[in-house]
Structure 1
Amino acid sequence: MFASVLAFVPWLLSYVLPFLVVLTVIVFVHEMGHYLVARWNGIAIQTFSIGFGPELVGWNDKRGTRWKISAIPLGGYVRFVGDMNAASVPDPDAVENLDPELAPHLFANKNVWQRISVVVAGPLANVILTFVILYALLLGYGRYTIPPVITGVTAGSVAEQAGLQAGDTVIAVDGYVVRGFEDFQRFVATSPARQVSLAIERNGAPQTLTLTPEAVEVQDRFGNNQRIGRIGVSRDVADNDVTLYRPGPVEALGMTVEEIRFIVQRTGAFLGDFFVGRGDVEQLGGPVKVAKVSGEVATLGVVALINLTALLSLNIGIFNLLPVPMLDGGHLMYYLIEAARRKPLSMRIQEMGFRLGFALVLALTVFTLFNDTLFAYLRTLN
């Protein structure tokens, strides 16, 4: 029994702890976005919670807001005074019994544009966190790069069929600037079975080619299966080919914005694949997979874990903007409809939407948990 407990401790420190650190930072920033904009709009805030379920520890500030850490560390919420629940559904009974002086400070009584600003603030805070991390890493560490010159083309490959030749210099992929061969590889790898446009330079003359990378299954250094795009080119690397590039503050600004645009576009394309039958369910990840990835990345060092935090923060921000009731995007959808109609949707419709949204989010959570554990078990059999 004691030996089992001792064996559990390394697993806890290796996987769970990095996951909780990453998730807590992302959730705190997201909810702080909602909190700050709500404060700026004069909205009374009842609770700021990291996690769900029973309270583990908490305190009240001088404005009456309850700050707490809850037992289930898989999210968080900001609950406003007069809300029925953490989803910001107004509670008519509570509103009637509140001090009339609080009425102007209720979220439900703010104009629609103020409510929209509060809803958007959470995902926007995630984008800002991603930007700050990527920008700081780029300025602080720079990046190692290899000239984007193709030195080999596999016979019969997608690249050969598209007309690529040894000696071609890749300038851009789908409009994204290629500063090094590693950029070219990444842009292609994230487009399995999706057509891409290449801007190249051959003998000093610019050309444009289109091709569709072949979707292949590969394993990363941790044994995880990944579906990537491959076209069949290579780059011979000499010692003097690898250089450390340090952009200036202004150039790093543009590079960071372009990187965020790339992640958003590729995330949208990844989600879109599931609507056209190209998606691979094994690539979907829930808490278990995120915990596993966090633990694996943590073995690569603090910088790698910080970089993962930036990526997950942006993806969580994007996910929260999906037009699903219970998520920020669902609230945003309601308020945009209200702005167009000049009156809110009925409480009955809103409650039905939130119940449907709750069911969808719950179903997705259960599915990803099952998906994570199923494929993890299947990998142990191989």
Structure 2
Amino acid sequence: MNLLTIIPAFLLAIGVLVTVHEFGHFWVARRLGVKVLRFSIGFGKPLWRRVSKDADKIEYVVAALPFGGYVKMLDERECEDGCEIAEHEVHRAFNRQKLWKRAAIVVAGPMANFILAIVIYALVFMIGQEAMRPYVDVMQDSPAAQAGFQSGDQVTAINGVETTSWEDVRMLLVEEYLKSPQLVFNVITQDQVPMQRTLDLQGFAMFDDEGGALDKIGLRTWVPPYDVVVEQIVPNSPAAAVGLQAQDKILSIDAVKPTGGRGFVEYIRAHPDQPVVLKVDRAGQIQSFSVTPRINTERGDAVATIGAALAAPPPALRDEIYFMESYGLVDSLWNGAAKTWQMSMLTLKLMGRMFTGEVSLKNVSGPVTIAQFAGVSASIGLTYYLGFLAIVSVSLGVLNLLPVPMLDGGHLFYYLIEWVKGSPVSAETEAVGFRLGMAIIGGLMVLALYNDFTRLLN
């Protein structure tokens, strides 16, 4: 992935998400009569600064470190030694506001992220996005194979909840598994026969390490069989050395007929440094070649290849598998809200399972992984990048609502205590909570960066 794509896509994503979050705090504070002193996107040395022309003289700043931001409000507790707040402005200090006003200002940041996610998802649904029909391919000796799944089954429902796309299956599988390890799939076979497949995952460690849930149970996308044709030969590769050419049709590999490009590639990868025999049709002439897959470390390959790029599946076959998923304005907004709620609850549940040890800490990702996903989604297309923004916006909203000191949820927890006991928590309690919050957030950042660099090294 090109850094010229990753860096701008990542910075744009962080800029949008942080700006929306902080604007939530800013907008509600202003509407409730609290004086705002500074609105900053980023921390550290200001790169850009402007002061508003109104009486409040609000300072707008874009700073050097983009990982966050803040809204500084008039607050007597943050007044340095010897400073005084003018008597006519004391009533506009944050600390002088009623409990519900302070809570509203604090919760406005995460709520802005959820609203952004709803709007983005609605926009994606209105624009329309290519979706894949939920046909499944089944891996041998997997839980799915043991449950009786057959390649070409189309999943129509999981535990009675309808599925129309591969994305629906992926999300519902995790959602329903978190409720119960026994899943009932409604499928339509290749012969158009409706059937049920019962998948019992009792004792199955779904989240013990990284990896997709569907891959772990042995389900993946299925494509109807099609001819495997060479589109291009890489110079100085094993394929070039034995004389393979573009437009060669692969009839068999070690006497086994490939049913598609994925099966052919997987066979090649499974035989590094082992000769394989290819029978090809070249303009009506049948020829055989013995080629040895290699791992080209100089070029940065991680798996064995022969240096032959394959042609894409035929357009007619693609039309059979893919469809355009789009809705009108009202349905898009409804689906956007439902999708945001679904992602929020799923994120919260997985976080909870992380504390109990059911979800591996290897699943925690940091800025490096997020940047990679930003670059990948941006390179695929606009709707995929928007979907990425929505997912991260939901995650940011959920994370900030956790009852951890320093986060918005920590402040809300203090306000809950204040509401119960009738008075604010003491300064000493806040100081201890601040140090605890720093330790928790610092530990999570170290873990996230460790996971990021482990992924890069692997």
Q: Give the TM-score, by structure 1 length.
A: 0.81
Work out which of the residue numbers 346, 350, 353 in structure 1 matches 2:433: 353
Comparing 332-341 and 26-35, the one that deviates more: 332-341
Q: Does 1:320 align with 2:411?
A: no
Question: Aligned partners of 1:240, 1:289: CA distance in 2, in Å?
Answer: 33
Q: 1:351 to 1:196 in 2, by over 3 A?
A: farther
Per-residue Cα deviation, 1:80-139 (whole angstroms, up to 9, x for no partner): 1126xxxxxx23656971111111111111111111111110000000111101101111
Equivalent position amino acid for 2:103 in 1:
I
SS in 1 for 2:355: coil
Gaps of 5+ in 1: 1-9, 84-89, 219-224
SS in 1 for 2:327: coil
The structure whose Rg is larger is 2
Question: Aligned partners of 2:431, 2:90: CA distance in 1, in Å?
Answer: 22
Contact 1:198 1:209 in 2 (8 A): yes
Aligned-residue offset at 1:373 = 2.2
Comparing 287-296 and 173-182, the one that deviates more: 173-182
Contact 2:157 2:187 in 1 (8 A): no
Equivalent position amino acid for 1:334 in 2:
Y
Q: 1:186 to 1:92 in 2, by over 3 A?
A: closer
The size of the alignment, in residue pairs, is 354
Q: 1:198 to 1:181 in 2, by over 3 A?
A: farther
Q: 1:141 to 1:60 in 2, by over 3 A?
A: same
Work out which of the residue numbers 409, 432, 450 in structure 2 matches 1:329: 409
1:58 corresponds in structure 2 to 49
1:16 corresponds in structure 2 to 7
Q: 1:283 to 1:362 in 2, by over 3 A?
A: same
Question: Aligned partners of 1:265, 1:197: CA distance in 2, in Å?
Answer: 19
Work out which of the residue numbers 97, 119, 127 in structure 2 matches 1:110: 97
Work out which of the residue numbers 107, 124, 128 in structure 2 matches 1:120: 107
1:222 corresponds in structure 2 to none
1:75 corresponds in structure 2 to 68
Question: Aligned partners of 1:353, 1:166: CA distance in 2, in Å?
Answer: 54
Question: Aligned partners of 1:55, 1:351: CA distance in 2, in Å?
Answer: 28
Q: 1:116 to 1:165 in 2, by over 3 A?
A: same
Q: Per residue, is there more helix in 1 or in 2?
A: 1
Gaps of 5+ in 2: 225-316
Contact 2:129 2:325 in 1 (8 A): yes
Q: 1:38 to 1:191 in 2, by over 3 A?
A: same
Contact 1:82 1:95 in 2 (8 A): no
Contact 2:28 2:108 in 1 (8 A): yes
Question: Aligned partners of 2:160, 2:86: CA distance in 1, in Å?
Answer: 57
Q: Give the TM-score, by structure 2 length.
A: 0.68
Aligned-residue offset at 1:288 = 2.1
Q: 1:91 to 1:158 in 2, by over 3 A?
A: same
Aligned-residue offset at 1:15 = 2.4
SS in 1 for 2:380: coil
Question: Aligned partners of 1:106, 1:174: CA distance in 2, in Å?
Answer: 53
Aligned-residue offset at 1:42 = 0.1
Identity of aligned residues (%): 31
Per-residue Cα deviation, 1:290-318 (whole angstroms, up to 9, x for no partner): 22222232222333222211111111111
Aligned-residue offset at 1:54 = 2.0
Aligned-residue offset at 1:285 = 1.3
Q: 1:279 to 1:240 in 2, by over 3 A?
A: closer
Question: Aligned partners of 2:438, 2:421: CA distance in 1, in Å?
Answer: 25
Contact 1:154 1:232 in 2 (8 A): yes
1:282 corresponds in structure 2 to 362
1:137 corresponds in structure 2 to 124
Equivalent position amino acid for 1:200 in 2:
N
